[in-house]
Chain A
Amino acid sequence: DQQVKQNSPSLSVQEGRISILNCDYTNSMFDYFLWYKKYPAEGPTFLISISSIKDKNEDGRFTVFLNKSAKHLSLHIVPSQPGDSAVYFCAAPRSNTGNQFYFGTGTSLTVIP
Protein backbone atom coordinates (compact mmCIF):
# COMPACT_ATOMS: atom_id res chain seq x y z
CA ASP A 1 0.00 0.00 0.00
CA GLN A 2 1.34 3.38 -1.03
CA GLN A 3 1.09 5.56 2.05
CA VAL A 4 2.88 8.49 0.43
CA LYS A 5 1.87 9.42 -3.10
CA GLN A 6 3.27 11.73 -5.72
CA ASN A 7 0.83 11.75 -8.59
CA SER A 8 2.89 13.82 -11.01
CA PRO A 9 5.77 11.79 -12.45
CA SER A 10 7.28 14.83 -14.15
CA LEU A 11 7.19 18.61 -14.21
CA SER A 12 8.84 21.16 -16.52
CA VAL A 13 9.31 24.78 -15.49
CA GLN A 14 11.06 27.77 -17.02
CA GLU A 15 14.10 29.08 -15.20
CA GLY A 16 13.16 31.83 -12.76
CA ARG A 17 9.57 30.66 -12.36
CA ILE A 18 8.06 28.79 -9.44
CA SER A 19 8.15 25.00 -9.25
CA ILE A 20 5.42 23.34 -7.19
CA LEU A 21 5.75 19.68 -6.36
CA ASN A 22 2.88 17.92 -4.63
CA CYS A 23 2.61 14.99 -2.26
CA ASP A 24 -0.37 13.30 -0.61
CA TYR A 25 -0.39 10.86 2.26
CA THR A 26 -2.97 8.49 3.64
CA ASN A 27 -1.79 7.85 7.20
CA SER A 28 -3.07 10.51 9.59
CA MET A 29 -0.53 9.33 12.18
CA PHE A 30 2.35 10.78 10.16
CA ASP A 31 3.69 13.80 12.01
CA TYR A 32 6.90 14.59 10.19
CA PHE A 33 7.69 14.92 6.51
CA LEU A 34 10.85 15.29 4.47
CA TRP A 35 11.76 16.13 0.91
CA TYR A 36 14.76 14.53 -0.76
CA LYS A 37 16.38 15.41 -4.07
CA LYS A 38 18.07 12.82 -6.25
CA TYR A 39 20.44 13.36 -9.15
CA PRO A 40 21.20 10.48 -11.55
CA ALA A 41 23.79 8.02 -10.25
CA GLU A 42 23.65 9.53 -6.77
CA GLY A 43 21.73 8.68 -3.63
CA PRO A 44 18.91 10.92 -2.41
CA THR A 45 20.01 14.01 -0.46
CA PHE A 46 17.94 15.70 2.21
CA LEU A 47 16.39 19.01 1.19
CA ILE A 48 13.88 20.23 3.76
CA SER A 49 11.52 18.89 6.40
CA ILE A 50 8.41 19.94 8.28
CA SER A 51 6.80 18.87 11.52
CA SER A 52 3.04 18.49 11.70
CA ILE A 53 2.88 21.23 14.33
CA LYS A 54 3.76 23.69 11.57
CA ASP A 55 2.07 24.47 8.30
CA LYS A 56 5.07 26.06 6.61
CA ASN A 57 8.84 25.75 6.69
CA GLU A 58 11.15 27.87 4.59
CA ASP A 59 14.82 27.46 3.74
CA GLY A 60 16.14 29.86 1.15
CA ARG A 61 14.46 29.20 -2.18
CA PHE A 62 12.66 26.13 -0.81
CA THR A 63 9.39 26.24 1.12
CA VAL A 64 7.30 23.28 2.21
CA PHE A 65 3.62 23.71 3.01
CA LEU A 66 1.59 21.21 4.99
CA ASN A 67 -2.21 20.92 4.94
CA LYS A 68 -3.03 18.31 7.55
CA SER A 69 -6.77 18.32 6.95
CA ALA A 70 -6.19 17.50 3.29
CA LYS A 71 -3.24 15.19 4.05
CA HIS A 72 -1.28 17.13 1.48
CA LEU A 73 2.10 18.78 1.33
CA SER A 74 3.83 20.73 -1.36
CA LEU A 75 7.34 21.91 -2.09
CA HIS A 76 7.78 25.32 -3.68
CA ILE A 77 11.03 26.30 -5.34
CA VAL A 78 11.35 30.00 -6.14
CA PRO A 79 13.08 30.98 -8.34
CA SER A 80 13.74 27.70 -10.12
CA GLN A 81 17.26 27.17 -11.45
CA PRO A 82 18.58 24.64 -13.99
CA GLY A 83 20.59 22.98 -11.20
CA ASP A 84 17.30 22.12 -9.50
CA SER A 85 16.58 19.59 -12.25
CA ALA A 86 16.38 16.29 -10.38
CA VAL A 87 13.92 13.76 -9.02
CA TYR A 88 12.19 14.90 -5.83
CA PHE A 89 10.83 12.45 -3.29
CA CYS A 90 8.61 13.22 -0.34
CA ALA A 91 8.94 10.92 2.65
CA ALA A 92 7.37 10.32 6.03
CA PRO A 93 8.69 8.29 8.96
CA ARG A 94 6.46 5.60 10.39
CA SER A 95 5.32 7.24 13.57
CA ASN A 96 5.71 4.41 16.04
CA THR A 97 9.38 3.89 15.29
CA GLY A 98 10.50 7.02 13.52
CA ASN A 99 12.92 5.01 11.50
CA GLN A 100 11.17 3.38 8.58
CA PHE A 101 10.69 6.07 5.99
CA TYR A 102 7.88 5.76 3.47
CA PHE A 103 8.81 7.40 0.17
CA GLY A 104 6.64 8.61 -2.66
CA THR A 105 7.34 7.55 -6.23
CA GLY A 106 9.08 10.80 -7.05
CA THR A 107 8.56 13.74 -9.40
CA SER A 108 11.17 14.47 -12.05
CA LEU A 109 11.66 18.23 -12.29
CA THR A 110 13.20 19.78 -15.38
CA VAL A 111 14.06 23.47 -15.22
CA ILE A 112 14.42 24.84 -18.72
CA PRO A 113 17.05 27.59 -19.14
Chain B
Amino acid sequence: DTGVSQDPRHKITKRGQNVTFRCDPISEHNRLYWYRQTLGQGPEFLTYFQNEAQLEKSRLLSDRFSAERPKGSFSTLEIQRTEQGDSAMYLCASSWASGSSYNEQFFGPGTRLTVL
Protein backbone atom coordinates (compact mmCIF):
# COMPACT_ATOMS: atom_id res chain seq x y z
CA ASP B 1 0.00 0.00 0.00
CA THR B 2 1.63 3.24 -1.12
CA GLY B 3 -1.00 5.63 0.22
CA VAL B 4 -0.76 8.08 3.11
CA SER B 5 -0.66 6.32 6.47
CA GLN B 6 -1.32 7.70 9.92
CA ASP B 7 -0.60 6.30 13.36
CA PRO B 8 -2.34 5.75 15.68
CA ARG B 9 -5.82 5.50 14.20
CA HIS B 10 -7.43 6.21 17.55
CA LYS B 11 -6.13 7.92 20.68
CA ILE B 12 -7.94 8.42 23.96
CA THR B 13 -6.22 10.63 26.49
CA LYS B 14 -6.97 12.55 29.64
CA ARG B 15 -7.11 16.31 29.67
CA GLY B 16 -3.71 17.83 30.28
CA GLN B 17 -1.73 14.98 28.72
CA ASN B 18 0.49 15.36 25.66
CA VAL B 19 -0.17 13.37 22.49
CA THR B 20 1.81 12.87 19.31
CA PHE B 21 0.55 11.67 15.95
CA ARG B 22 2.58 10.45 13.00
CA CYS B 23 1.94 10.75 9.28
CA ASP B 24 3.81 8.96 6.51
CA PRO B 25 3.08 10.61 3.16
CA ILE B 26 3.29 9.11 -0.30
CA SER B 27 7.03 8.80 -0.77
CA GLU B 28 7.51 11.00 -3.81
CA HIS B 29 5.32 13.82 -2.50
CA ASN B 30 7.06 17.01 -1.44
CA ARG B 31 4.13 18.65 0.33
CA LEU B 32 2.48 17.47 3.52
CA TYR B 33 -0.61 18.96 5.15
CA TRP B 34 -2.37 18.62 8.48
CA TYR B 35 -6.12 19.20 8.83
CA ARG B 36 -8.55 18.89 11.70
CA GLN B 37 -12.12 17.72 11.25
CA THR B 38 -14.80 18.00 13.91
CA LEU B 39 -18.27 16.48 13.80
CA GLY B 40 -20.45 17.99 11.10
CA GLN B 41 -17.65 20.06 9.65
CA GLY B 42 -15.31 19.72 6.74
CA PRO B 43 -11.56 19.43 7.20
CA GLU B 44 -9.95 22.64 8.46
CA PHE B 45 -6.40 23.49 7.44
CA LEU B 46 -3.82 23.53 10.24
CA THR B 47 -0.40 23.68 8.61
CA TYR B 48 1.67 22.50 5.67
CA PHE B 49 5.25 21.62 4.83
CA GLN B 50 7.17 21.75 1.63
CA ASN B 51 9.94 19.21 2.11
CA GLU B 52 11.16 19.89 5.66
CA ALA B 53 10.12 23.55 5.81
CA GLN B 54 6.90 24.49 7.56
CA LEU B 55 5.61 27.22 5.28
CA GLU B 56 2.20 28.08 6.63
CA LYS B 57 0.29 27.77 9.89
CA SER B 58 -3.37 28.44 10.47
CA ARG B 59 -4.52 30.59 13.36
CA LEU B 60 -6.22 27.39 14.53
CA LEU B 61 -2.77 26.08 15.42
CA SER B 62 -2.36 27.37 18.96
CA ASP B 63 0.90 27.44 20.90
CA ARG B 64 0.06 24.01 22.29
CA PHE B 65 0.35 22.49 18.83
CA SER B 66 3.64 21.81 17.10
CA ALA B 67 4.36 20.00 13.87
CA GLU B 68 7.62 18.79 12.42
CA ARG B 69 8.77 17.10 9.27
CA PRO B 70 12.42 16.17 9.77
CA LYS B 71 14.26 15.25 6.58
CA GLY B 72 11.17 16.02 4.55
CA SER B 73 9.69 12.55 4.98
CA PHE B 74 7.27 11.64 7.77
CA SER B 75 5.67 14.28 9.96
CA THR B 76 4.58 14.45 13.58
CA LEU B 77 1.88 16.59 15.14
CA GLU B 78 2.14 17.08 18.90
CA ILE B 79 -0.53 18.56 21.11
CA GLN B 80 0.59 19.59 24.58
CA ARG B 81 -1.71 19.91 27.58
CA THR B 82 -4.68 18.56 25.66
CA GLU B 83 -8.11 20.09 26.18
CA GLN B 84 -11.53 18.59 25.54
CA GLY B 85 -11.92 20.98 22.60
CA ASP B 86 -9.00 19.24 20.90
CA SER B 87 -11.17 16.15 20.37
CA ALA B 88 -11.38 15.74 16.62
CA MET B 89 -10.19 13.73 13.65
CA TYR B 90 -6.69 14.81 12.61
CA LEU B 91 -6.10 14.25 8.92
CA CYS B 92 -2.82 14.25 7.08
CA ALA B 93 -2.54 14.74 3.33
CA SER B 94 0.29 14.89 0.83
CA SER B 95 0.78 16.09 -2.72
CA TRP B 96 3.41 16.72 -5.34
CA ALA B 97 3.40 20.34 -6.32
CA SER B 98 5.68 23.01 -7.70
CA GLY B 99 5.11 26.73 -7.57
CA SER B 100 1.53 27.58 -6.83
CA SER B 101 -0.02 24.93 -9.03
CA TYR B 102 -3.14 23.29 -7.71
CA ASN B 103 -2.63 19.63 -7.13
CA GLU B 104 -4.82 16.95 -5.68
CA GLN B 105 -4.12 16.22 -2.06
CA PHE B 106 -4.14 12.57 -1.03
CA PHE B 107 -5.50 12.00 2.46
CA GLY B 108 -4.67 9.42 5.07
CA PRO B 109 -7.33 7.67 7.16
CA GLY B 110 -6.92 10.10 10.05
CA THR B 111 -6.25 9.84 13.77
CA ARG B 112 -9.33 10.21 15.94
CA LEU B 113 -8.45 11.93 19.22
CA THR B 114 -10.75 11.81 22.22
CA VAL B 115 -9.83 13.94 25.23
CA LEU B 116 -11.63 12.92 28.40
Contacts and interface: CB of A to CB of B under 8 A. Distances in A.
Contacts of B102: 32, 49, 93, 98
B4 to A, nearest CB: 7
Contacts of A45: 106-107
B31 interface: yes
B56 A101 contact: no
A105 B107 contact: no
Contacts of A104: 42
Interface residues of B, number: 28
B74 interface: no
Interface string B84-116: 000000010100010111101111111000000
A59 to B, nearest CB: 13
Given A97-B100, A98-B97, A46 B106 contact: yes
A99 B104 contact: no
A106 B38 CA distance: 12
Given A44-B43, A97-B56, A101-B43, A49 B97 contact: no
Contact of B105 (A4, A6, A46): A46
B12 to A, nearest CB: 16
Of the candidates B31, B35, B44, B102, the one having the most CB atoms from chain A within 10 angstroms of its own CB is: B102
Contacts of A46: 104-106
Nearest to A36: B107
B93 A99 contact: no
A98 B42 contact: no
A4 B45 CA distance: 13
B41 interface: yes
A43 B110 contact: yes
Interface string B32-75: 01010000111111001000000110100000000000000000
